[in-house]
Structure 1
Amino acid sequence: MKILTAGIALLAAVAAPASAQNDCKAGTYRAADGDFVVLVPSPVVPAPGLRYQFRDGRRGATNEAGAPLTCQAETVSVKGKAWPKIAFRETPVTFDSLQTKLTGMLIEPPGADPKRPLVVMVHGSERTSPIGGPYGYAMAAQGLSVFVYDKRGTGASEGDYTQNFELLAEDAAKALDSARRTAAGRFGRAGFFGGSQGGWVAPRAATLTRADFVAIGFGLVASPIEEDREQMVSEVRAAGLGPDAEALVDRLSKATAGLLLSNFRDGYDALDAVRTEMAAQPWAAKIEGEYSGAMARLSDADLRRIGRARFDNLELIWDYDAVAVLKKLDTPLLWVLAGEDREAPIETTRGALMDLKAAGKPVDVYLFPETDHGMWEYVQHPDGSRDVTRITDGYLKLLGDWIKRDVRGTYGRAEHLTPR
């Protein structure tokens, strides 16, 4: 099962003149005012084109017609101004976690700064490697030392792929310990950034090792069961349905939770009762959630036979208590919400974070309106489907400034939330 995957593929690039393609070299290029663009290879961009990502969230391919940059040997030109390439120090690292060898990369800006923050990036449910991807370089371009690593069972790391938050948190804690050793004498504060599923993993990791901060983007303060329910509620609200529909999907979520929490031994009578109610609703066939829609459309016989193999094969902690973990933390915490997140609806998460802030926890909460999971802006069509356009302006800069303790001014359309 894919829980909270942040990656969204770029559209196929439109060909530009071959010379423009061939001149572009992978790297990170920075303007005098701190703006930057990251160029990296991508499997969805035909070679020799590269994927680009600006600080303000614009993304695309260098071989698109009208790409907002041109390339020379060691510079990129944007609006007629040359941006030089940043000479990052990149150090491959291997480290052990629970008798499993994991692989990472430490990315450091030029120069030695003993006060430079160090951030370990805890990625989401995706199986792709973050090493060589744009996000680590986008953080390093803002003056941070960044440690990215392949989680177990992905990339060059050993072990089996899992979504067990406790195990992944152990790995993340070991990643921070390894990053500290590798960058010894060249950093000050050190902590975590977690995107998507990393919102469950990074806070737990911060209870296992010393962390000076935790930053989260578009994660949940809710369990996977609550995530499933909120996704279905979001679906019925988007369809313009009323409280009866919400009550029905709530009962569906409780029924499927019963199966999951009992290892598919119990809960079939409750699910059958919900199926009977759903049969009379023409809209019910389109309900998905994270898993409940698919479970409801399988027979009891199939669920008894292959339910665990189909839905419970990644060691998820279905009733994970995210609030309890955050209550243990006194570490400064940044949480950035996507206002119209369909994959990780924010209602429960926002309420939990505001309660923690009201109780005196050092929590900063920002919301970017009209953004979906991954902090993507989008165009919504009459049928409710969405086409993503760009990462919302201000998101990447907010992360960098907050980690540096230098938050000032505005960040795109971000709203800084406070308890009511």
Structure 2
Amino acid sequence: MMKAMTNAFRGPPIRLLAVLPPLLATGIAGRVEAQSQAEVGKPSSRLGLAVPGPIATDVRISSEPDVVLAGTLYLPAGHGKGPYPLAVMIQGNGPNKRGGFSELIKRLSADGIAALEYDKRGVGQSTGIYEEDPERLTADAAAAVAAMRHRSDIAGSRIALVGHSGGGVIAPAAATADPDIAAVVTLAGNVGDGLPYVRKGLYRQMMKMVVGGRDTLVGPATDAAMTLLQARVDSRDAATISRLRANAVDRFEAAGFPRPQAEQALAMIDVPEAWKGSKLRSASDLKALHIPVLAIYGTKDTVVDDAPAARAALASNPRARVVMLDGLGHSFQEGAVTGAPDEASKLGPYLGSPRLVEIVGDWLRDTLSSKSGRGIRQVR
């Protein structure tokens, strides 16, 4: 029995990085080579006709504390001088630079919608220290919106926030604090509040990894890990932390992990990014929104499975829509077989499924045509 468990756990502890959404595992974009800005600038096509590509302009955005974000503003060609509606693109977890929304940006440009991408703080040409802190990343998104509203070529009342994965946490958070945001799009966005959401992801992944998926083994191990994280959040003393860590390792071992791998797994979980899971409020933020919201998920997503939670959070919003796209994984690329993150580098453009681009493009075109979001369909 122990030999079977040892084989089951050989290698997979790395997958525990995938159980702490939105903090650790949703950084698929960081593992996929982003498309270049030159690729975004290539002409698109609509109805068989060539459409000029967007005009790229480098921008610098001041955020707090003392952070300058390096971004690229894509203005649509062939649509007059503006002011244009704008989509601010917010990337998922990981040290991600610009380039992840190339296909969508080309589509938006064809419809006369500007787009902004920026390197995350401490990444690429942006200053500051990289960290996955929801509050600081939300402040960066708010700073990006504020900077765009000062431009004469941007319609400040028609700005949408588009977030992928962990960016789908930041977009609703920024929108709840800004009543003038026109719309929100979340692509495989995490939906949950606080450490209970982190526990849900950890429990789900461990049930897959433990032979037989026994709750009597997985439940105590998961609870022990969460008790440790809560102690970190509460700044408990070193002796308490040491005792709770030892208990968590014991519980992982009791669940079937060989002790060295139990220690390795806990070391991956007990990190500052995970402690900050206590700040997660994406379910509450979505519930508080009364503006148009589009939430899209893929049926082969092995990282985030939050469509039901999104429907529940958006149930009272008549201008919200939840969509499931068959056969697409977390990075929304056509051709997924298993949906596992390691497939992403072998597939087509990141966030490039024509089905995804069409749905998001049509929705933003219709929504941003007026601030009222006229004609938005209800949650389904």
Decide: shared fold, TM above 0.5. yes
Which one has a larger percent helix, Structure 1 or Structure 2? Answer: 2
Q: Following the alignment from structure 1 to structure 2, what is the Cα–Cα distance between the partners of residues 180 and 341? A: 35
Q: Following TM superposition, by how much is the alpha carbon of 1:204 offset from its aligned partner in structure 2, in angstroms?
A: 1.4
Distance 1:173 1:26, change over 3 A: closer
**Where do 1:175-194 residues align within 5 Å?**
175-182=144-151, 184=153, 189-194=158-163
Q: For 1:126-164, what per-residue CA distance to the aligned partner results, in whole angstroms no more than 9, with x for missing partners?
A: 323215972564443442210111222122222221222
Q: For 1:258-298, what per-residue CA distance to the aligned partner results, in whole angstroms no more than 9, with x for missing partners?
A: 3432346345545544433432443577989xxx9622689
Structure 2 residue aligned with 1:294:
265
Q: Following TM superposition, by how much is the alpha carbon of 1:115 offset from its aligned partner in structure 2, in angstroms?
A: 7.7
Distance 1:136 1:401, change over 3 A: closer
Q: Following the alignment from structure 2 to structure 1, what is the Cα–Cα distance between the partners of residues 55 and 243? A: 60
Q: Following the alignment from structure 1 to structure 2, what is the Cα–Cα distance between the partners of residues 279 and 417? A: 47
Distance 1:359 1:232, change over 3 A: same
* 1:106–1:179 CA contact under 8 A, matched in 2: no
* 2:84–2:114 CA contact under 8 A, matched in 1: yes
Query: Larger Rg: 1 or 2?
Result: 1
Letter in 2 for 1:190: I
Distance 1:283 1:404, change over 3 A: same
Letter in 2 for 1:380: T
Letter in 1 for 2:364: I
Q: Following TM superposition, by how much is the alpha carbon of 1:387 offset from its aligned partner in structure 2, in angstroms?
A: 3.0
Letter in 2 for 1:333: V
* 1:136–1:148 CA contact under 8 A, matched in 2: no
Whether 1:90 and 2:56 are equivalent positions in the alignment is yes
Structure 2 residue aligned with 1:15:
none
* 1:91–1:105 CA contact under 8 A, matched in 2: yes
Q: Following TM superposition, by how much is the alpha carbon of 1:121 offset from its aligned partner in structure 2, in angstroms?
A: 0.6
Q: For 1:182-219, what per-residue CA distance to the aligned partner results, in whole angstroms no more than 9, with x for missing partners?
A: 35366872111011111121111113332100101111
Q: Following TM superposition, by how much is the alpha carbon of 1:112 offset from its aligned partner in structure 2, in angstroms?
A: 1.6
Q: For 1:221-247, what per-residue CA distance to the aligned partner results, in whole angstroms no more than 9, with x for missing partners?
A: 124732354144134236652433442
Letter in 2 for 1:164: D
Pick aligned residue for 2:74 from 84, 107, 110: 107
* 1:136–1:147 CA contact under 8 A, matched in 2: no
Q: Following the alignment from structure 2 to structure 1, what is the Cα–Cα distance between the partners of residues 260 and 186? A: 31
Q: Following TM superposition, by how much is the alpha carbon of 1:366 offset from its aligned partner in structure 2, in angstroms?
A: 1.1
Q: For 1:335-389, what per-residue CA distance to the aligned partner results, in whole angstroms no more than 9, with x for missing partners?
A: 1123343333x2xx334322233334532111224433222453339xx896343
Structure 2 residue aligned with 1:221:
191
Structure 2 residue aligned with 1:410:
none
Report percent identity of matched pairs: 19
Structure 2 unaligned blocks of 5 or more: 1-22, 369-376
Which one has a larger percent strand, Structure 1 or Structure 2? Answer: 1
Q: Following the alignment from structure 2 to structure 1, what is the Cα–Cα distance between the partners of residues 153 and 135? A: 27
Structure 2 residue aligned with 1:4:
26
Whether 1:387 and 2:355 are equivalent positions in the alignment is no
Structure 1 residue aligned with 2:374:
none
Whether 1:357 and 2:314 are equivalent positions in the alignment is yes
Structure 1 unaligned blocks of 5 or more: 12-23, 35-82, 299-306, 408-415
- Where 1:148 maps in the other structure, the secondary structure is strand
Pick aligned residue for 1:172 from 141, 162, 182: 141
Structure 2 residue aligned with 1:400:
361
**Where do 1:246-265 residues align within 5 Å?**
246-263=218-235, 265=237
Q: Following the alignment from structure 1 to structure 2, what is the Cα–Cα distance between the partners of residues 199 and 418? A: 17
Letter in 2 for 1:6: I
Q: Following the alignment from structure 1 to structure 2, what is the Cα–Cα distance between the partners of residues 115 and 386? A: 41
Please, which moves more after superposition, 365-374 or 262-271? 262-271
* 1:215–1:334 CA contact under 8 A, matched in 2: yes
Letter in 2 for 1:337: Y
- Where 2:290 maps in the other structure, the secondary structure is coil
Pick aligned residue for 2:117 from 148, 155, 161: 148
Distance 1:284 1:403, change over 3 A: farther
Pick aligned residue for 1:324 from 264, 281, 284: 284
- Where 1:157 maps in the other structure, the secondary structure is coil
**Where do 1:4-23 residues align within 5 Å?**
4-7=26-29
User: Higher relative contact order at CA 8 Å, sep ≥6: structure 1 or structure 2?
Assistant: 2
- Where 2:182 maps in the other structure, the secondary structure is coil
Distance 1:137 1:255, change over 3 A: same
Query: TM-score normalised to the size of structure 1?
Result: 0.66
* 2:60–2:70 CA contact under 8 A, matched in 1: yes
Structure 2 residue aligned with 1:66:
none
* 2:224–2:247 CA contact under 8 A, matched in 1: no
Letter in 2 for 1:104: G
Query: TM-score normalised to the size of structure 2?
Result: 0.72
Structure 2 residue aligned with 1:20:
none
Q: Following the alignment from structure 1 to structure 2, what is the Cα–Cα distance between the partners of residues 214 and 126? A: 21
Whether 1:234 and 2:205 are equivalent positions in the alignment is yes
Whether 1:127 and 2:91 are equivalent positions in the alignment is no
Please, which moves more after superposition, 179-188 or 332-341? 179-188
